[in-house]
Amino acid sequence: MVTSTPTGLLATDLDGTLAVGGVINRADRAAAAELKSRGIPVLVVTGRNPEALKKVEGLWEVADEVLFSSGAGVLTDEDAEPVGMGCLTAGETAEITAILDEAGEDYCLLDPIPDNHCFSWKRHRPTGINPDFDRWMNLCKIWGRPDNGIPAQASQVLIVLPPGTFIQRKTTMALSRWSVFHSSSPVDHKSIWLEIFPTGMDKGSALAAWCSSRDLPKERVLALGNDFNDESMLAWAGMGRAVGGSPLARESVFPVLPPAGMGGFEAAVKEALECFTGCFEPDR
């Protein structure tokens, strides 16, 4: 837990940025330990929910705190109760699902935090037309339930698009009242996922709020990411960086570091040490 104003901060996405295949390698764990010994904490900002975070090897060796579900909640330590930062009301979920039903999209409604690993789902496309949605339903079948009406609240709405398809412009415009961003599927790494959160909620706003509560200016923050849902936090931070070989590295204006698991996080640590303390350890 970070209770005072740190010297600086390294905020990093998790999957495809810090962790590869759900594992944080030993070199990155050692780099994080060195950084924290200099008074610079590591804040992990991830789309994973608290239940999914339990499967990440080495997470709490690296993270001081975690902003999970793309900023919808915070974990202050490994054993802390997840704290939510807001959710969609029943009225909002009714509006959103009506838009998606009309468009014929496949989607999930995630329960409020701390139970946002549980969800209801609705399928419009025939089985086999949206293979990534099918795989996701199979992977999470113990947590999912068929649509049983509009819940009182939802932490977010997840839309899974088949490979090569795009959401209709009419649908995009209808959803623009809320925070909507897209990322590559963590299941097949090809399909597009669209996530809908309460208005103003995203990784960037969550990072800004976290730093504001600790009187830490954005000029003392280095943010590292790999996908389009990381753009808001990279843009807000004083220094935004993308890991190589990622969607964000190919299509963004942020400086690019080595790929995940191949020195990207270590390079970010060295830059943070140099910028926030004026020193860093040479290559070992």
| Residue tagged 């209808």 (tokens) | 174
Name which residue leads in pLDDT, 190 or 34. 34
Distance from C-alpha of 47 to C-alpha of 68, rounded to nearest angstrom: 6
Comparing CA positions, the residue from 271, 103, 251 lying closest to residue 182 is: 251
Number of domains in the chain: 2
Please indicate, yes or no, whether residues 98 and 132 belong to a single structural domain of this protein. yes
Name which residue leads in pLDDT, 31 or 71. 31
pLDDT of 23-66, one tens digit each?
999 999 999 999 999 999 999 999 999 999 999 999 999 999 99
Please indicate, yes or no, whether residues 176 and 209 belong to a single structural domain of this protein. no
Looking at residue 278, its pLDDT comes to: 60
Looking at residue 153, its pLDDT comes to: 85
- Which of the residue ranges 56-70, 181-195, 257-271 would you say has the lowest mean pLDDT? 181-195
pLDDT of 215-225, one tens digit each?
999 999 999 99
Q: Which residue, of 197, 215, 239, is where some domain finishes?
A: 197
pLDDT of 111-127, one tens digit each?
999 898 999 999 999 98
Looking at residue 281, its pLDDT comes to: 45
Distance from C-alpha of 181 to C-alpha of 197, rounded to nearest angstrom: 9
Looking at residue 272, its pLDDT comes to: 97
**Long-range contacts formed by 133-140: CB under 8 A, 24+ apart:** 133/106, 133/160, 133/162, 135/187, 135/188, 136/108, 136/160, 136/187, 139/187
The mean pLDDT of 92-101, rounded to a whole number, is 94
- Which of the residue ranges 155-159, 192-196, 278-282 would you say has the lowest mean pLDDT? 278-282
Any domain includes 41: yes
Mean pLDDT of the chain: 91
The mean pLDDT of 68-89, rounded to a whole number, is 91
Comparing CA positions, the residue from 22, 18, 12 lying closest to residue 186 is: 22
Name which residue leads in pLDDT, 247 or 37. 37
pLDDT of 126-156, one tens digit each?
989 999 999 999 988 899 988 766 667 899 9
Tokens at 241, concatenated: 């960086």
Please indicate, yes or no, whether residues 256 and 243 belong to a single structural domain of this protein. yes
Please indicate, yes or no, whether residues 92 and 47 belong to a single structural domain of this protein. no
pLDDT at 279 > cutoff 60? no
Q: Which residue, of 197, 228, 260, is where some domain finishes?
A: 197
Looking at residue 158, its pLDDT comes to: 94
Looking at residue 150, its pLDDT comes to: 64
Tokens at 32, concatenated: 């994080």
Looking at residue 182, its pLDDT comes to: 85
- Structural domain span for residue 107: 88-197
Per cent of the chain over pLDDT 70 is: 96
Any domain includes 175: yes
Looking at residue 149, its pLDDT comes to: 64
Please indicate, yes or no, whether residues 95 and 190 belong to a single structural domain of this protein. yes
Q: Of how many residues is the chain composed? A: 284
Any domain includes 95: yes
- CATH code, domain carrying 132: 3.30.1240.10
Global pTM value: 0.86
Any domain includes 221: yes
pLDDT bracket for residue 283 (50, 70, 90): very low
Please indicate, yes or no, whether residues 32 and 132 belong to a single structural domain of this protein. no
Q: Which residue, of 163, 197, 231, is where some domain finishes?
A: 197
